[in-house]
Structure 1
Amino acid sequence: MKPLLIPRRRFLQTAGAASLGALGLPAILRSQSPGKKLNIVVIGCGGRGGADLKEMLEENIVALCDVNAKNLDIAAAKAPGAKRFRDFRKMYDELKDAEFDAVVVATTEHTHAFATLPALQRKKHVYCEKPLTRDVHEARIITEAAKAAGVATQMGTQIHAGTNYRRVVELVQSGAIGPVREVHVWVNRTWGRQSPEDAAKYKDIVSVQERPTEEMPVPPELDWDLWLGPAPARPFNTVYFPGPKWYRWWDFGNGTMSDLGSHWNDLPFWALNLDAPLTIEASGPPPHPEIAPATMSATYTYGARGAMPPVKLTWYQGQMKPPQWTEKVIPQWNDGVLFVGDKGMLLSDYCKHVLLPEKDFAGFTPPPQTIPDSLGHHKEWLHACKTGAPTTCHFGYSGRLTEANHLGNVAYRASKKIEWDTKNLRIPNAPEAERFLRREYRAGWKLA
């Protein structure tokens, strides 16, 4: 299969809906003059949100929202003219359509969908940090809402804009290692519920094994009820806050799989034109009802895509590694993506890649560059908002990636191999596992 060819000039120009559709990219219906500044709302101003805000300061920041007053104060110093809110539901109620063009969402994972959906329903452009949503059900809602809105969207998968990923995609799609039938993705991070053996090695907050029963004083700057949002109520404790401690608890996130999977599974998803898996099977320690695992593995099967053959992708986190790594067939990188083709292998991380066995590729000439350099992950989205040009991590793509990552956790929590009916969001062979696709929301919160 030939790589997607988008000449840089065409990438930067305003694209019409028809041409974008022909490329398989979403048609962006709302755009404005490239020279006009956008009116932007930032929801979630600390951590990643603070970094996102910094990228937006050349535009007009019209509103800031955060459940943490300290984050609001810091952000307001950078955007002193912006309105300030603690509850994004009230913010959406009070802001008129004419007051803003776009929204940046950088809240905790379990409120991403709730902060994103109202913007899409009002046909506002959205940049949302990864993972796009907390679960499969929410990912599908956001993906479909974005398609209906026809606006510029981008998930915060910043490494996607790097040159290394682009060169790897070109190598894979040009056939440098032949048809790829096997991929291994591994990350060294060991956050989450530890095995008894590993727990002794980790003395900090990440090794908490059970939900704490004690209640701690809520920091004066924090609205704890708003922070909990749609999740079940529980007493405040520092095992959840500040971030990223919260992300290993099922009520608030999905652990390492959905977090780092957004970055590392992105590369094979892009290079191999992956979509919905056919089956998913996971392994690891017995699942815990409250806490995501530190160590686990998930294997996905995908059908043929055009000229690309069926492929098996296996994810490993924590103490698990692919056999090629444990047998020292490949370099001992802490994190990596290994494409196994009929003619060789390609190993990559964020910043570098190598064709293997190296002796077989001595004197190899890389294919010509066909994927244009990125303007920058945030700038790409800002440019799309103003011109209608495509983004590379739009919700139509990122929603599918998010669903696949979440399905790895669904299979793990179900403790069995699952078959996936993507059209109907069903698990035909294990309907009891469907309870992990979505959740009930606390009173006062709804996603509709």
Structure 2
Amino acid sequence: MKNNKPDQQLASRRNFIKGSALAAAGFFIVPRHVLGGPGFIAPSDRLRVASIGVGGMGAGDVRGIFSSGKVDMIALCDVDDTRAKQSREAHPKANYYKDYRIMLEKEEKNIDAVSVSTPDHMHAVQALMAMKMGKHVYVQKPMSHDIYEARMLTEAAEKYKVVTQMGNQGSSGDGVRQMVEWYNAGLIGEATKVWTWTNRPVWPQGIPWPSTPIAPPADLDWDLWLGTAPYKDYVGNLVPFNWRGWWDYGTGALGDMACHIMEPPFRVLGLGYPSSAECSVGSVYVGEFQRGYFPDSCPPSSHITLRFERPGKEELEFHWMDGGIQPTRPEELGPNEMMGDGGNGVIIEGTKGKMMCSTYGANPQLLPTSRTKDVSLPQTEYRVPGGSSGHYNNWVEACIAGHGSEEFKKLSSPFSVAGPLTESVLMGNLAIRSYDYRIPRTGSDNQFDYPGRGIKLVWDGANMKITNFDPANQFVKRTYREGYSL
């Protein structure tokens, strides 16, 4: 065996001489932030970000992420050049792409994180490609279009040890944390029912697919916009906003608002996967006493009932209403007091009382509201600096600190939390689509039966499967168009 001792002694002697010379010269290493003066951020404390979908809400996400002062926008990607103009002008040095796959392949070594602000049907494939590269991801709500996708993203976040955040900014607000403290203090007792509602949709739903295709705008790459969805010719009144009402691309009022409105009771009550789902759906009439059947489009209104089993406790009944449907007004609420924020809100009923909030968990109130000002509790829940406005920086700081860091533990909506919430939201859509599932009636060419109506769908959350109505399982996972996969 070779004796390494002389080499070790030589190395020690060299280090000693080098150290002595530096000391004699009065030289010592100063941290870079000291050399740079106030406001200086060392390169190691900056986050290099690529953004997919940079128009509309995406432009807001770019601004929000960049506002931390610790972000370099390295690359921007959008299929619509006109919609991307604002972000491109704000970040002229960022490389610009139309295809996210090309961007991620070319910029892999130049970026640390990726934000995804595209239509719902593209969230999962874009986020997962970035996560497999070891990139942190910020994904607009809902984090996925399908239940299966949500589960895959949740598992990938842990597998690849990346920092994740869903774009439901209310989860960083003070309101939901106040409600957690009230509930943990026993102010409303044990929760028995939850009511959540929205006045959305404010876009067309419950309509037939337009019969006349038109040429797509010159600045829009329609094929890339379709992405994972089946190919269809371009139609008017779809892009950039009304895609939300079509199942191929959007997730309806539930997907748009429930990640904001259902999040407070999920956090307060520590909920996981539901055990069952059932629904009723508003009818669309196309003629006198004739109900339209438009399975490609989300319904104009719905009422979803989810149930959650809780070990050692009674089953929790959880209601979602959209299209303007609202729960019965609580007796504890004064006749001129607003329920929620008028169009949206949350009420949690307990064995000893009730509490209420608006969209994003804002304006939390105990009922009757006079109780609110009389209660003073010690603060036990972490408050995100800036509240809802600090949601982006909450993610940026965690990305810079790294997976498992103290900043990572302060994340408001990591996929470990956002995943089960999103799955529960999408369970409502599974119930809606099962409600409209139809089969031809025996012996009839133009009459149908709807076997998914009037039943409770029993959900095996661990295995992502409806156990008592197999046709519903087709809505757990989509088939992607060729060229896209998880």
Query: TM-score, structure 2 length as denominator?
Result: 0.78
State the partner residue of 1:145: 156
Per-residue deviation, 1:363: 6.7
Q: Does 1:321 align with 2:335?
A: no
State the partner residue of 2:84: 72
* Matched-pair contact (CA < 8 Å) for 1:173–1:272: no
Aligned pairs for 1:90-239 within 5 A: 90-96=102-108, 98-191=109-202, 206=204, 209-239=207-237
Q: Within 2, Cα distance between the matches of 1:310 and 1:56?
A: 40
Q: Does 1:282 align with 2:279?
A: yes
Q: Extract structure 1 runs of 4+ deviating beyond 6 A.
A: 326-330
Q: Within 2, Cα distance between the matches of 1:260 and 1:329?
A: 26
Per-residue deviation, 1:34: 9.2
Share of identical aligned residues, percent?
33
Q: Within 1, Cα distance between the matches of 2:377 and 2:61?
A: 34
* Matched-pair contact (CA < 8 Å) for 1:34–1:383: no
Q: Within 1, Cα distance between the matches of 2:237 and 2:422?
A: 25
State the partner residue of 1:201: none
Per-residue deviation, 1:73: 3.1
Q: What is the CA deviation profile of residues 143-202 of structure 1, one whole-angstrom value per residue up to 9, with x for unaligned ones? A: 11111011111000011112222212211222111111111001112446xxxxxxxxxx
Moved more, 349-358 or 178-187: 349-358
Of residues 222, 230, 245, the one that matches 1:248 is 245
Q: Within 1, Cα distance between the matches of 2:262 and 2:381?
A: 19
* Matched-pair contact (CA < 8 Å) for 2:466–2:472: yes
Q: Within 2, Cα distance between the matches of 1:190 and 1:99?
A: 40
Of residues 332, 357, 382, the one that matches 2:396 is 382
Q: Does 1:300 align with 2:310?
A: no
Aligned pairs for 1:249-268 within 5 A: 249-268=246-265
- Indicate the SS of the match to 1:316: strand
- Indicate the SS of the match to 1:90: helix
Q: Does 1:414 align with 2:456?
A: no
- Indicate the SS of the match to 1:258: helix
State the partner residue of 1:198: none
Matched residues, number: 399
State the partner residue of 2:3: none
Q: Within 1, Cα distance between the matches of 2:131 and 2:396?
A: 16
* Matched-pair contact (CA < 8 Å) for 2:205–2:299: no
Q: What is the CA deviation profile of residues 294-314 of structure 1, one whole-angstrom value per residue up to 9, with x for unaligned ones? A: 210111111115x76431110
* Matched-pair contact (CA < 8 Å) for 1:34–1:386: no
Q: Within 2, Cα distance between the matches of 1:308 and 1:153?
A: 31
Q: Which AA in structure 2 matches 1:409? A: N
RMSD of aligned Cα (Å): 2.2
State the partner residue of 2:267: 270
Larger RCO of the pair (alpha carbons < 8 Å, separation 6+) = 1
Q: What is the CA deviation profile of residues 286-342 of structure 1, one whole-angstrom value per residue up to 9, with x for unaligned ones? A: 67311111210111111115x764311101111322133699887443211001111
* Matched-pair contact (CA < 8 Å) for 1:191–1:248: no
Q: Within 2, Cα distance between the matches of 1:288 and 1:314?
A: 25
- Indicate the SS of the match to 2:329: helix
State the partner residue of 2:32: none
Q: Does 1:43 align with 2:52?
A: yes
Q: Within 2, Cα distance between the matches of 1:335 and 1:368?
A: 29
State the partner residue of 1:88: 100
Q: Which AA in structure 1 matches 2:49? A: I
Q: Which AA in structure 2 matches 1:167? A: Q
- Indicate the SS of the match to 1:134: coil
Q: Which AA in structure 2 matches 1:142? A: L
State the partner residue of 2:417: 397
* Matched-pair contact (CA < 8 Å) for 1:72–1:84: no
Residues 254 and 326 of structure 1: is their aligned pair in 2 closer, same or farther, counting only changes over 3 Å?
Answer: farther
Q: Within 2, Cα distance between the matches of 1:325 and 1:212?
A: 42
Q: Which AA in structure 1 matches 2:59? A: G
Unaligned runs of 5+ in 2: 1-40, 284-292, 436-454
State the partner residue of 2:64: 55
Unaligned runs of 5+ in 1: 1-31, 193-205
Q: Which AA in structure 2 matches 1:160? A: S
Q: Within 2, Cα distance between the matches of 1:225 and 1:95?
A: 23
* Matched-pair contact (CA < 8 Å) for 2:150–2:419: yes
* Matched-pair contact (CA < 8 Å) for 1:180–1:308: no
Q: What is the CA deviation profile of residues 204-240 of structure 1, one whole-angstrom value per residue up to 9, with x for unaligned ones? A: xx26721011111211110000000010111112221
